[in-house]
Every structure is written in C-alpha cells, then in structure tokens.
C-alpha cells in the first residue's frame, strides 16, 4: 500500500499548482495556506514555486526563458528515462532550492527583488520545521511519508512528461502544450490538469471549468494524446537507444 499511498501524496503537487493560480478555493488566504502545507509535504516552497510557475506560463516551452527547461531536459533515451523516473535529480534540485533560498543570493530572473526576503524566510522556516518533526517522530515519518513519497513520485514524473514533452518550442499554447484524454479518476487526481493546453491558453479559468473549456477549444488543439499509454509509446519511440 505504500505505492498508492505515495502516489496520492505526490499528486498533491497538482493541488499546489492550482493554489498558485488561486483557483481551488474562493479566498486567496485559503489557497495560500493549502499551498504552504503541501510545500512542506513535497519539499517545494510555495512562494518560490509561484514565481517559478509564473515564468513557466509566461515563457512556456521557450528554451532559455522557461525555467522548467533550465537543467530539466526531457529524457531522449532509455537510460535518461530511467534516471528521470528515479527522481534522483528531482530531489537533488529540491535540496538545492531549499538551501539556496535560505542562504543564497536569490538572483533567478523570475524572482522579484522585493520578494527575496519572503522567499528566504520561507526556506528557513521549512528547514527548521523538517528538523523539528524528524526529531520528534523519525521512524513514523519515514514509513508513512518519505518512503511512500519516494515510491510514488515516479508516477507523477511520468504523468508530467505528457504536459510539454515533444511539443513544439513556439509561443502558441495550443502547440507547445499537450492535452491528454484520460479517465475521470486521473482527471480527479490531477485536478483536471490533463486539460493542460486549455489551462495554459487561459490560466485564469478555474480547474472545474476546464472540461467546458476543452469542448470550446477542442478544434484548435494541436497536441492531443489519447491516454497516457499512447503518449508514452509515442514518446519512447523517438529514443535514440
């Protein structure tokens, strides 16, 4: 049961993502509270992610501008895919972000200078909280949180590949982002983010309205996969080894 438990924890990422857009809840403060709680669970600072993600929306899939492409190239071989799904690089990146935000210069272009102090305080508080909770109950947290998360996170990584993997590096959101037709359960688990091209085209549309937006824009979508199995088959077919 650790694997499904870990998958459920990992997919809280999609809720944190929605909280950056202030769409899950009516009030901004509740979106922020939930975003910060998930930040603790996923080792991903919420304020930092909000600015990182804003830049991703502004420069979607544009090399040199989209921070999601900076050091996070999509795998192009079986070896690279295995490393990607191992999540080793992901966890190392999160550790560097936490430490860098707490003591580093915070010079990333997507971070507003006026927010550097807040991002530094956020990182310091997270590191302090991790030290505190692990000192109180290290064994329980290891088996109920950390190990399941490590086991479940590769599923999220595989899911996220479909959002922009092998899409065109152009400014058209219907071409640089993919919508994946999938089951109601996956849409529920991912807060309707399989409708990803629609979300990028109109990010202010709340998650519960994305199915309606999909019907309105379906004829214009340039990147659509019929399920994650079909996407994965097409994705690996282009591997060089």
Give me the DSSP letters along 186-211. Answer: HHHHTTTTTSHHHHHHSTTS-GGGHH
Supply the mean pLDDT for the chain.
Answer: 95
Nearest to 60 by CA among 237, 220, 196, 234: 196
pLDDT for residue 163 is more than 70: yes
- Rounded average pLDDT over 117-123: 97
Check residue 20 and give left, alpha or beta (phi > 0: left; psi -120 to 50: alpha).
alpha
Q: 70 pLDDT band (50/70/90 cuts)?
A: confident
With a pLDDT cut of 90, the percent of the chain lying above it is 91
218-240 confidence digits (pLDDT tens): 999 999 999 999 999 999 998 87
pTM of the entire predicted model:
0.94
- Rounded average pLDDT over 194-210: 96
Predicted confidence at residue 239, as pLDDT, reads 86
Give the list of residues 6+ apart from residue 69 with CB closer than 8 angstroms, or none: 61, 62, 63
Interior/surface letters 178-211, b for 16+ CB within 10 angstroms, e for the rest? bbbbbeeebbebbbbbbbbbbbbbeeebebeebe
Using CA atoms, how far apart are residues 54 and 36, in angstroms rounded to an integer? 17
Predicted confidence at residue 14, as pLDDT, reads 98
Q: 241 pLDDT band (50/70/90 cuts)?
A: low
Predicted confidence at residue 13, as pLDDT, reads 98
Q: 156 pLDDT band (50/70/90 cuts)?
A: very high
Predicted confidence at residue 71, as pLDDT, reads 75
């Amino acid at each position: 049961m650790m694997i499904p438990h870990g998958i459920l924890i990992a997919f809280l990422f999609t809720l944190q993502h929605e909280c950056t857009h202030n769409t899950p809840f009516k009030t901004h403060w509740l979106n922020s509270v939930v975003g910060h709680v998930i930040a603790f669970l996923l080792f991903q600072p919420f304020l930092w992610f909000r600015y990182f993600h804003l830049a991703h929306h502004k420069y979607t899939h544009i090399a040199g501008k989209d921070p999601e492409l900076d050091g996070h190239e999509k795998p192009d071989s079986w070896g690279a895919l295995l490393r990607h799904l191992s999540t080793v690089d992901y966890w190392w990146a999160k550790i560097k972000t936490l430490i860098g935000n707490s003591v580093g210069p915070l010079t990333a272009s997507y971070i507003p200078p006026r927010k550097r102090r807040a991002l530094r305080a956020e990182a310091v508080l997270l590191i302090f909280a991790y030290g505190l909770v692990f000192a109180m109950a290290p064994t329980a947290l290891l088996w109920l949180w950390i190990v399941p998360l490590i086991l479940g996170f590769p599923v999220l990584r595989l899911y996220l590949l479909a959002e922009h993997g092998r899409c065109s590096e152009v400014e058209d959101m219907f071409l640089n982002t993919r919508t994946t037709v999938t089951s109601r359960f996956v849409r529920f688990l991912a807060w309707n983010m399989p409708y990803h091209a629609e979300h990028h085209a109109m990010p202010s549309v709340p998650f519960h309205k994305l199915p309606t937006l999909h019907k309105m824009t379906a004829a214009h979508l340039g990147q659509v996969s019929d399920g994650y199995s079909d996407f994965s088959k097409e994705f690996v077919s282009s591997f060089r080894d």
